Every structure is written in structure tokens, then in C-alpha cells.
Structure 1
Amino acid sequence: MITFVLLIIIYLAFISLGLPDALLGVSWPLIRSEWALDLDAVGMVSIVVTFGTITSSLLSGKLIKHFGEGRITFFSGVLTGGALLGFAYAPSYFWLIALALPLGFGAGSVDTALNHYVSLHFKAHHMNWLHSFWGIGATAGPIIMSNILLNTHSWRTGYSTIAVIQLFLAVIIFLSLPLWKKQASINSKLQEDHISDEPSELSGFKIIRVKGVPYALLVFVFYCAAEYAVGLWGSSYLVQVRAMTFEAAARWIALYYGGITVGRIIAGFISFKLNNKQLILLGICIAMTGSALLFLNFNSFTVMISFALIGLGFAPIFPAMIHETPQRFGKNLAQSIIGFQMASAYTGIAILPPLLGIIIDKTHMIVFPIFVILCVGILFYLTTTLNRIRQN
């Protein structure tokens, strides 16, 4: 019973994780207009958010050991909710940069903690369904923002609304803290009864020397760069290339995140028949089809389908890669490797999408779909190579 209730709380925590993720890209055209900023100014906010997440991801092992997953999850909700509330009342662009640090730090440790916890204690279908709840949060964010923009034309009201929801979810997690304690005690007894002949845990950057780990980390660099870039620049692409309104573009980006959400629900069922490696390759093929359609830019309908297909293809990649980590590298190494995978994911987000913004600013928005195609192609190479290296 404790495990079941805790699983529901973790589902809610994944919604909380997803809520802020797409807000910056959706609201940026209006923020940029209000403060007369360059298109690529969003890159600095993104870099600071990602610096916070990388730092907390690398510290996650110590933080989780000291505070436990429950408290880390609660603290994250409070920190991100407070930062989003700060965004709503920010008097200038520089305040967004300052508030981006706690926003990022709040996401990093909880991301690692929850993914590691689920990869060890639950099956693959739960990993996909839990990440679909991240998608619900990521989809709900733009929908809430677009409806508020339609009615009030105020991005600040959108941020304050999401902040209140985030803080409400943090209260629910706070009330569940005794359950985390009881479950930790149960898990501890089970671990004591389990004798493992797997490799011992490695400290620091020694983990990178493990066979195949560099490829596993690079997968997260390019996957998360592509996923984030579509959310960050997709709205601007639709406004500039397809001449859409801000509100319409926000709803189409919600369609992209909806594709990720629905895709992860479907992947949960498919995981009963296909293993993680097969799910990843299937997702890459679907994402490549969507990316090609986006590049060809036939008409509004095909562009809409392309965003949905890219989301659908991206859907199983992240959860399947995380869930495969204990199987690929052993449970003893999984916590450290997942921490590095999260740091790699946010490194990709910090470097590549802002770099894409600079390139777009100097050239043309047509670079955006080319970037997505390149990232998906690199993903295919990295995953097939990793599968070959870690073959049993």
C-alpha cells in the first residue's frame, strides 16, 4: 500500500518537473518584445538555468544520501515555484538571469533522484508512464500560458499561475514525506538481503572510464539539446516562418509536448513487447521522419504533423535510456551514472540550443529544422554504437 501511494506521489512529482520546461520558449516572443531584446538573449537565461541543473545533478549523489529522495523532491518544488513567482514580478531581463539559477538548481537533483529511484524499483512501463506525466506538465504549461496570453496578453500572469500550481504540488509532496521514510526503511532491508557481484560504486569522474559510458552520456547531450531546441525555438520558427500569431504558435508547441506525452503512454504498453533498446531505435526513426517533414515545410498541416511526430519519436528515448542504465552498467554504478547522464543532458541544453539561437540570428530560421535532423542522426549513431559496445 505504501509503495502504491508513493507511486502516485511520484507521478505528481513528474508533472511538477514538466510544468516550467516549455514556458520560456512559449513566452519569449512577448518577453523579447516588452524589453526590446535580441532573439538570442534567451540563450543566457537558458545557460544559467542549465548551470544550476548541472551543478545540482553532479551533487545529487551526496544530496540524496544526506536528505533522501522525498525531501529533495519537496525542496525542488518550493525552489522552482518560488523562482517562477520571481519571473512573474521581474522588473528587468537581468532579474530573469538571476532567478534562472534557483530554477535550474531546483530541477537537477530531483530529476536524478526520481529517475534513479524509478529505474531501480519499478518496471519499464512505469518509467515511460511516469515520464508521460512529465509530458502532461510540459504540455499543460504552454496550454495554460497560451490561454492566459489569449485573454490577458500577459506572460507575467502565466508565470504566476504556474508558480501557484507548482507550490501546491510541493505541499502535497511535503505531506507525503513520512511515506518516503517508511519506504526507504523497506528498501534498506531488501538491499541488506541482496548480495551483489556487480562492480563497486566509483567515485567522481572515474565513472567516465567505464566501457560505454561516454557514449551513454553523449546520447543525453544530443537528445536533450534536440528536445529543448524544439520547445525553445519552435514557437519563434512558427511566428517567423509560418507567420503565426504568438497564441497559435504556443498551441502548436503544446502539440509537440502532447506528442511526447501520448508517445510515452503508448511506449509504456509497447514495452511489454519491445525492450528498451528497440524502443529507443523506433523513437529515433519516428523523430527523423518528423524532422524531415519540418525541413520540407510543405504547408501548415505538414508542419503541424511534423511537430507531433517529433514529439512522438522523442517520447521513449529518455525514459528507456534511464531505465536501461542499471541493466547496462549494474545497479551499484547506476546512481553515479544517472547523475552524470542528467548533467550531460543539461550540458547539451546549455550549449547547443543557445548556439543554435546565435546561428539563427546571423543566418536564417531554416537552420532550426536542419539542427534537429543532425541531432537525431547523431543519436542513431551513438545508440547503435553503445548497443554494440555493451553487448552481453
Structure 2
Amino acid sequence: MTTWFLIIIYLAFISLGLPDSLLGSAWPVIWPEMGSSLGSAGIISMIIAGGTIVSSLFSNLMVERLGTGRITFVSCLLTAASLFGFSVSPSVLWFIVMAIPLGLGAGAVDAALNHYVAAYYKAHHMSWLHCFWGVGATLGPMIMAVQLASPESWRGGYAVVAAIQFLFAIILLVTLPLWKKVAATREPLPSAALTDSAPAEATPAIRPQANTIRLRGVRPTLLTFLLYCGIEAMVGLWGASYLVGSRGVAPEKAAVWISLYYAGITVGRLTTGFITLKVPNRLLIRYGQLLTITGGVVLLLPLHPSLSLAGLILIGLGLAPIYPGLLHETPARFGRENSARLIGYQMAVAYTGTTVIPPLFGLLSVRTGIGVFPFTALALLLLMFWSAETVNRLLGRSALGRE
């Protein structure tokens, strides 16, 4: 029963990832057809992320009233309906309307499942959970690339993904009773058991606080979440436009290359799930950030356009351990009693990054040109590395994996 339950959670995260990469991979074709502008994608992305902020802030309350299983089902159904709406959109205005339920659906299930896995499962399960998000995010552009080469074009891509989402929703509806059965048999893991690696020393007890923002290290951690999701979304949304507009890559090939960026995240998280058995999360977060910076440098250099793909894949591989690692560290760093509230805050701040950074880059690209993309990406990656290292300094030895 537990195995089937994990499969359902993984499927839920595939459904969460599928829509995330569609807009960026299809936008080079959508905006000319709609008579819109290149920067309009930033507005749509901002509205989607705004919905996720709202729903993630209220996720704790919704889970208490409805349960994680029902929240997951309703969220999947909302995203399926929204994607079908995109497929029949007559204008960019309709895209904006459909973006609202898409964001609301994504935020609720993301926060609910992340908190559940952080509390009940070890670090490798968190990495694999987000690996399956990457599976969905990788499949999305691949499906779109196939449809862009067909008469249905981008509309067919959205329709296919909508059908897959409806199928996932049916599976979640049929398996709703399983959520209650598993919940009745599981107990939260003690904080010391959350890590997969052997503990070197005990983690000091952290008392619950009403104002969790004042806990040491919380604020730079929130900044790291904001920058992480902003960078991940910016590369996914504008990467194809940069490849087409600045590097001369065909739209279909650019969509495939963006799918390989998400494949880098996916493969990285699959691998990280095994590495966490030996290497602490917090060191993996550091190594991942150094790898993203390397990818940013490769993307920036005036090399052959095909090497832009190498830069994107390196960024994806480096991003892989950062988000799940930071989430899983929350109970160990700040106390289980504070983790539910903090994970909700982290989700909200993360989606704020998704809301703000991609549209801000859209405005920047309209003024300066899409060629500024690699410079902006590298600057944000360096800032994210600084914020994560600030947390390590504030938390001392325990920040380097000494539990």
C-alpha cells in the first residue's frame, strides 16, 4: 500500500511539472500568431505564479479541512481545465484568464505534498519527488516540439497535455481512499531521522515560535528560494526565445533544447536521491550552485550555438539538488514545530520569485534585446550562491551537514 501511495505522489508531481514548461517552449510561435509582444509571456507567467502564491499561503488551512488527497485531485483538475482553455484561446487576454486557475491549482498541491514528504520521508524521497516534477517539465516541451511541427501547432500541444492531466485527475479520484489509509498508518519521522547520512552530532532542539521569520537563517533562506524559482522559471520561459532570437536556433529545436534543460534537472534529482545516502543535503546544495554558475559562464561565452545547449544542461543539473534539498532541510534547520508554517512561507516566496523575475526580465529584454539573457542568468546565479552561503555561515557547523 505504501508503494502504491508513493507512486500516486510521484504521478501528482509529474502532473505538476507538465504545464510549467509549455509556455516558454511555445511562446516564440504564439506571440506572433496572436499579434502580441515578446514580453507578454512575462505577464502570463506572473499571473500563474501569483495564483500559486495565494494558494500556497492557504495550503495549510486547506489541507486541514479537505486533506492532502482531495487537494491534489482538485488541483490536478483545475490545471487540466486551464490547459484546455489555453488550447482554444482566441487571444492573449484569454491566456491571462486561464492563467488564474492554473496558478491556484499548482500552488496548493505543491505546498501540501512538499510538507508531507519533508515530514514523513527521508531526503532521497524528496529528491525523487522533485525528479518526477522534472519528468513532467521535460515531457511538456517534447510534446510541444512534436506538435509545433504538425498542423495543430501549439494548440495541439496544450490539448495533448490537458488530456494527460484529465487522466491523472481520474487516477487521483479513484485512489482517494488510499490517502486516508496510509495517513492512519504513518507517524512523522523524528528530526534526527530525516537525514539519510549518518549523524555526526545531535541537532539542538528548536522551540516553536509564533514569528518564524525571526529565526536565525530564515531570511537568507527565503531569499535563496526566491532566487532559485525565479532563475528556474526565467530560464524555462525565456531560454527558447533567446535561442531563437539571439542564437539563430529553429523554434522546434529550441523547444527540444529547453526540454533537455528540464531533463538535466530530472536526471540530476534522480541521481541526487542516491547521493544523499552518503552526502549531506547541504553540501549537495553548495555543489549544485557551483555547477549552475559553470553553466551560466558557458552560456555567456560567444561559442558555437550548439554549446548553448551544454550551458543549459549544466544549469539544469546544478539546479537539481537545490530546491528539494532546501525544503528537506527545513525541519532539521528550524525545528519540526516551525516547519509547516515555514514551508508555506517558502513556497509563497519561491513563487514570488517566479512571479517577479521572469516578467522583469521580459521588460528588460524589450528595452535591451534578448541577448542580455545569459548575463542576467549568471548574475542571479551568483546572488543565489551568496544567499545560500550566508545561511551556512549563520548556522555554523550544522549548516555543512553536521546534524
- Please report the TM-score for the alignment, with normalisation by the length of structure 2: 0.92
- Give the equivalent residue in structure 1 for 2:25: 26
- Give the equivalent residue in structure 2 for 1:286: 291
Matched residues in 2 for 1:284 and 1:189: separation? 30
- Give the equivalent residue in structure 1 for 2:208: 200
Matched residues in 2 for 1:248 and 1:351: separation? 28
- Give the equivalent residue in structure 1 for 2:349: 344
Within a 5 Å distance, the mapping from 1:217-228 to structure 2 comes to: 217-228=222-233
Match for 1:214 among 210, 214, 219?
A: 219
1:153 Cα deviation after fit? 5.2
- SS of the residue aligned with 1:199? coil
Within a 5 Å distance, the mapping from 1:10-25 to structure 2 comes to: 10-25=9-24
- SS of the residue aligned with 1:23? helix
- Give the equivalent residue in structure 2 for 1:105: 104
Question: Residues 263-295 of structure 1, C-alpha deviation per residue, up to 9 Å, x if partnerless?
Answer: 111111111121111000010011100000000
1:117 Cα deviation after fit? 0.6
Matched residues in 1 for 2:169 and 2:395: separation? 39
The residue type equivalent to 2:338 in the other structure is: L
Question: Residues 220-244 of structure 1, C-alpha deviation per residue, up to 9 Å, x if partnerless?
Answer: 1101111111000000000011111
Match for 1:252 among 254, 257, 261?
A: 257
Within a 5 Å distance, the mapping from 1:91-130 to structure 2 comes to: 91-130=90-129
Matched, 1:65 2:64: yes
The residue type equivalent to 1:62 in the other structure is: L
1:352 Cα deviation after fit? 1.1
Contact map agreement 1:126 1:268 (CA 8 A) in 2: yes
Matched residues in 1 for 2:66 and 2:183: separation? 12
Contact map agreement 2:285 2:322 (CA 8 A) in 1: yes
- Please report the TM-score for the alignment, with normalisation by the length of structure 1: 0.95
- Give the equivalent residue in structure 1 for 2:311: 306
Matched, 1:375 2:380: yes
Contact map agreement 1:295 1:366 (CA 8 A) in 2: no
Greater Cα shift, 227-236 or 30-39: 30-39
Contact map agreement 1:142 1:251 (CA 8 A) in 2: yes
Matched residues in 1 for 2:241 and 2:260: separation? 15
- Give the equivalent residue in structure 2 for 1:150: 149
1:189 Cα deviation after fit? 9.3
Match for 1:359 among 359, 364, 378?
A: 364
1:198 Cα deviation after fit? 4.6
The residue type equivalent to 2:207 in the other structure is: P
Matched residues in 2 for 1:26 and 1:79: separation? 22
Contact map agreement 2:123 2:276 (CA 8 A) in 1: yes
Greater Cα shift, 381-390 or 230-239: 381-390
Matched residues in 2 for 1:198 and 1:142: separation? 43
- Give the equivalent residue in structure 1 for 2:389: 384
Contact map agreement 1:32 1:39 (CA 8 A) in 2: yes
Contact map agreement 1:224 1:346 (CA 8 A) in 2: yes
The residue type equivalent to 2:294 in the other structure is: T
The residue type equivalent to 2:79 in the other structure is: T
1:364 Cα deviation after fit? 2.1
- Give the equivalent residue in structure 2 for 1:236: 241
Aligned residues: 384
Unaligned segments of structure 2, at least 5 residues: 191-203, 399-403
- SS of the residue aligned with 1:224? helix
Question: Residues 89-140 of structure 1, C-alpha deviation per residue, up to 9 Å, x if partnerless?
Answer: 1121111111101000000011001111111111111111111111010000
- SS of the residue aligned with 1:298? coil
Contact map agreement 1:88 1:157 (CA 8 A) in 2: yes
- Give the equivalent residue in structure 1 for 2:195: none
- Give the equivalent residue in structure 1 for 2:330: 325
- SS of the residue aligned with 2:150? helix
Matched residues in 1 for 2:151 and 2:20: separation? 22
Unaligned segments of structure 1, at least 5 residues: none
**Matched residues, percent identical?**
48
Matched residues in 2 for 1:190 and 1:350: separation? 33
Matched residues in 1 for 2:176 and 2:209: separation? 28
Matched residues in 2 for 1:297 and 1:74: separation? 46
Contact map agreement 1:297 1:303 (CA 8 A) in 2: no
Question: Residues 131-150 of structure 1, C-alpha deviation per residue, up to 9 Å, x if partnerless?
Answer: 11110100000000100111
Contact map agreement 1:201 1:333 (CA 8 A) in 2: yes
- Give the equivalent residue in structure 1 for 2:301: 296
